[in-house]
Amino acid sequence: ARVLPVVCAERKARFNLKASRKSRVFRRSAEIPQTQGVPTPEVVAIHVSNVVSIQRGSELDALKKLSTLVYDTKHAANEAAALGPQAATVSPSVLLHLLSTNHGSDVGSIEGALVYEACAVENFAGYSEDVRHDCVLDKAFCNLAAMMASRVTGSVSVEVVEATNDADFICAKALRMRDMLLELGVDVGARVLFKIPCTWQGVLAVERLEQQGVKCHVTQVYCLEQAAAAARAGAALVQVYVGRTRTWYQKHPIAAVHNNLGDAPDAGIELVKQVASLIRDEGLSAKVIAASVKSKNDALALAGCEYILMNERVISTLNESLSASDGDELQDGFKHGSAPVVGEVMEKVFAAALRNSPGAEELAHALDVNAAADAKLKQFIANYSGSLV
């Protein structure tokens, strides 16, 4: 029987951790998966920002009165910042980033998962080694999510990576991860969102999960039909991408006309407004988070959106600029928008909407990136497991 050195008792108790950072997991740099070709995390958690305080009377100060501002960073450190309550996301890219940088105590999330008894081969009778690797990876996500929940005051979004893109498998994975988080003492209902791409199967899964009290963060939303389907399914949070949407429609102006975005000065901003208006007009409970915010002008145009995700460059620019308004003008420009009527969204309508918007291309790219990161992590798990035989 192998004996692995035991580290901090607290980490062992929380994450079933039996291997230290000095163990063979981290001694062999060749075993650490490389992140080439896999983008760094889009949102990991709040990191110490150069914006240590919000300048009174600045555009950042005015914007904060109207929207919850979230700091978009690729660092895994979590510290309180001037923006207020913060959130975190756990994904394959995040774990790869931690392994490649050997980042602090956070690497314990995967160490503990490697020796988690419930993922042992004998507990998967009739299943393949790949299934065990999948279990280990889910456990690592949950370990890291528990760490994040102890450091941020907002929600932690845990990415549900399911290669088959099948509603049954997505639900099964999310429910297993929910149970793992409950084992770690995390208040899942209050603190955790399960992040699911807005494919048709993803929407079906969201509806089932929300009916069981599992809150979902629907991502990769690029058209109104996606947003309508997700919000009507009960999603807690819908993430719309401003810059990516704008860039795509600049290259496909005819599609903008067909999607009621042709008359808008900015298709990305207009889509966020339409999504928010549809949710409000239909009395749905979903919140909207605007991502891919490229400039301070984007941010100001989004004032009134429930959540705005911004990088440090945009935040700093807003903080250095004095506001010409107390915020009322910004609020009026967003809250009084309208949305085209969206009828019942069935699978064929959903698929057509994806083809005629950035949705199809962006979803395919996002799923490929997650699959590549997921494969690298599973290879790491396989290499480590094999080295102990």
Q: Report pLDDT digits (tens) over 114-161.
A: 888 888 766 666 667 788 888 999 999 999 999 888 888 888 999 998
Provide the 8-state DSSP code for 107: G
> What pLDDT was estimated at residue 318?
92
Average pLDDT over residues 226-254: 97
pLDDT attached to residue 385: 66
Query: Which pTM value belongs to this model?
Result: 0.83
pLDDT of residue 53: 77
**Residue 355 pLDDT more than 90?**
yes
pLDDT digits (tens, 9 = 90+) for 166-222: 999 999 999 999 999 999 999 999 999 999 999 999 999 999 999 999 999 999 999
Q: Is the pLDDT of residue 224 over 60?
A: yes
**DSSP assignment of 153-183, as one string?**
SS-EEEE---TT--HHHHHHHHHHHHHHHHH
pLDDT score recorded for residue 55: 84
- Computed on alpha carbons and rounded to an integer, the radius of gyration of the chain in Å comes to 21
At CA 190, angle to CA 189 and CA 192, rounded to 5?
70
Residue 43 has pLDDT above 60, yes or no: no
Mean pLDDT of the chain: 80
Residues 83-104 have a mean pLDDT of 74
> Among this protein's residues, is 287 annotated catalytic?
no
Q: Quickly state the pLDDT bin for 334 (edges 50, 70, 90).
A: low
Residues recorded for the chain: 389
Residue at 166: amino acid letter: D
* pLDDT at res. 150: 86
The DSSP 8-state label assigned to residue 9 in this structure reads H
Per-residue DSSP letter, 123: G
Reported as a single tens digit per residue, the pLDDT across 250-269 is: 999 999 988 889 889 999 99
Calculate helix-pair angle for 347-355, 359-387, nearest 10 degrees: 100
* pLDDT for 289: 96
d(CA 143, CA 145): 5
Measured CA to CA in angstroms, residue 47 lies from 40, 144, 234 at distances of 15, 16, 31
Taking the C-alpha atoms of residue 321 and residue 233, their distance in angstroms, rounded to an integer, is: 40
In the predicted structure, residue 13 carries a pLDDT above the cut 70: no
pLDDT for residue 254: 92
pLDDT bucket at 97, cuts 50 / 70 / 90:
confident
Nearest 5 degrees, angle CA 46-CA 47-CA 51?
100
The reported pLDDT for the residue numbered 111 is: 79
Matching residue, tokens 């080295």: 387
Look at residue 16 in the predicted model and tell me its pLDDT. 43
pLDDT in tens, 272-323: 999 999 999 999 999 999 999 999 999 999 999 999 998 889 988 998 888 7
Average pLDDT over residues 362-374: 90
Q: 20 pLDDT band (50/70/90 cuts)? A: very low
In terms of pLDDT, which residue wins out, 240 or 70?
Answer: 240
Question: Distance between CA atoms of 201 and 190, rounded to whole angstroms?
Answer: 25
Name every residue whose Cβ is closer than 8 Å to that of residue 210 and which is 6 or more positions away in sequence.
216, 233, 234, 235, 236
CA nearest neighbour of 72 among 244, 248, 294: 294
Active site residue: 12, 139, 195, 273, which one?
A: 195
Q: Residue 57: pLDDT above 90?
A: no
220 dihedral zone (left: phi>0; alpha: psi -120 to 50; beta): left
Q: What DSSP character marks residue 325?
A: S
